[in-house]
């Protein structure tokens, strides 16, 4: 069985979309990654931190998905990371209203002994120095180190972030972040700049416009499934990362062709995540629903053309 080590925030989110508003609900990059990766046959563990205010029912939800939480630190008297976001009418763009680091500000990650040989490490969104510390604690070089990040860390810890980007195999970011990181408007130029910064592969996520996978001179594109209703895009990027990394950890195959499949699995799972607020849709997602949608993906993208 594959082993996936996940790093990222476990959080409270408050979300406003054109369809409604939530109080503090379960969120965080590692949460979405873990829930998505649990669709595959992998052993996974989350390295993260929460405060004493974090409800036990949320912990139970994650452990019920076979996610090892022995390295999820619970800080006595501490407050959990909090993020508040508001989406614009097109649902493709959003404003961050609040980011409260709280217990994340002084977090020293500890990788569990039994995950120091994980075959895939998914460094989800959080402080780049935490991501770097996790890489350094690994006993052996993982088959793949994948990194996801966001504009917040480009604004606040750019040099540390560039240091981590040098050490990884695959970077997954969204189109705006790729532009911010490189100063290039063209995504093709941005990709070529990023591939010179360290990673061998790059995935640029474009929300409802799908995802691009770059490697050397090769490019692969997967659309997002056209959905009748998109309710809340929060966590779509992380769910993509969870599906992508979970599939690669389970299949133990790092070929470009298998990475293409991983992009499809990531996109497929993200299409569920956006159908309800927060993690709700991912909490009870069944494998037969996932497989059915994979067939829709195949039909959507295949054509016969004589060339």
CA 301 to chain centre: 24
Strand-pair category, 170-174 with 201-205: parallel
235 vs 243, beta carbon nearer ligand AMP: 235
Shortest reach from residue 172's CB to ligand AMP, in Å: 10
Residue 43 main-chain phi, psi, to 5 deg: -90, 125
Residues near 84 by Cβ (< 8 Å), separated by ≥ 6? 13, 14, 15, 96, 97, 98, 99
Count of all residues that appear for the chain in the document = 307
CA distance 124 to 106: 17
Shortest reach from residue 305's CB to ligand AMP, in Å: 35
Shortest reach from residue 237's CB to ligand AMP, in Å: 3
Q: Per the structure block, which two tokens stand in for 252?
A: 């133990």
Work out the angle between the directed axes of helices 236-251 and 256-273 (0-180°, nearest 10).
140
Which residues form the interface with ligand AMP (CB under 6 A)? 9, 11, 13, 27-29, 83, 99, 125-126, 150, 152, 234-238
Shortest reach from residue 134's CB to ligand AMP, in Å: 14
Its sign, for the CA torsion 208, 179, 133, 81, is negative
Shortest reach from residue 307's CB to ligand AMP, in Å: 37
Its sign, for the CA torsion 169, 175, 176, 179, is positive
Shortest reach from residue 306's CB to ligand AMP, in Å: 40
């Amino acid at each position: 069985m594959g082993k996936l080590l996940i790093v990222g925030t476990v959080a409270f989110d408050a979300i406003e979309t054109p369809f409604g508003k939530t109080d503090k609900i379960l969120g965080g990059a590692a949460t979405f990654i873990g829930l998505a990766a649990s669709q595959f046959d992998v052993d996974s563990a989350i390295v993260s931190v929460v405060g004493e205010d974090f409800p036990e029912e949320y912990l139970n939800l994650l452990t019920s998905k076979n996610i090892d939480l022995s390295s999820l630190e619970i800080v006595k008297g501490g407050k959990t990371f909090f993020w508040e976001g508001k989406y614009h009418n097109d649902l493709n763009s959003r404003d961050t209203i609040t980011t409260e680091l709280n217990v994340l500000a002084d977090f020293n990650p500890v990788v569990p002994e039994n995950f120091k040989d994980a075959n895939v490490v998914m460094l989800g969104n959080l402080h780049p120095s935490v991501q770097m510390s996790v890489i350094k604690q690994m006993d052996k070089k993982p088959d793949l180190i994948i990194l996801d990040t966001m504009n917040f860390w480009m604004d606040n810890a750019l040099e540390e972030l560039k240091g981590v980007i040098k050490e990884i195999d695959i970077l997954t970011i969204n189109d705006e972040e790729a532009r911010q990181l490189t100063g290039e408007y063209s995504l093709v130029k941005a990709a070529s700049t990023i591939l010179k910064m360290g990673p061998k592969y790059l995935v640029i996520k474009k929300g409802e416009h799908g995802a691009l996978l770059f490697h050397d001179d090769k490019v692969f594109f997967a659309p997002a499934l056209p959905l009748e209703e998109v309710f809340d895009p929060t966590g779509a990027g992380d769910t993509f990362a969870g599906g992508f990394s979970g599939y690669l950890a389970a299949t133990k195959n790092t070929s470009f062709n298998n990475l293409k499949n991983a992009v499809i699995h990531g996109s497929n799972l993200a299409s569920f995540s956006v159908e309800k607020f927060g993690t709700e849709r991912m909490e009870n997602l069944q494998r037969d629903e996932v497989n059915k949608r994979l067939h829709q993906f195949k039909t959507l993208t295949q054509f016969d053309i004589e060339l």
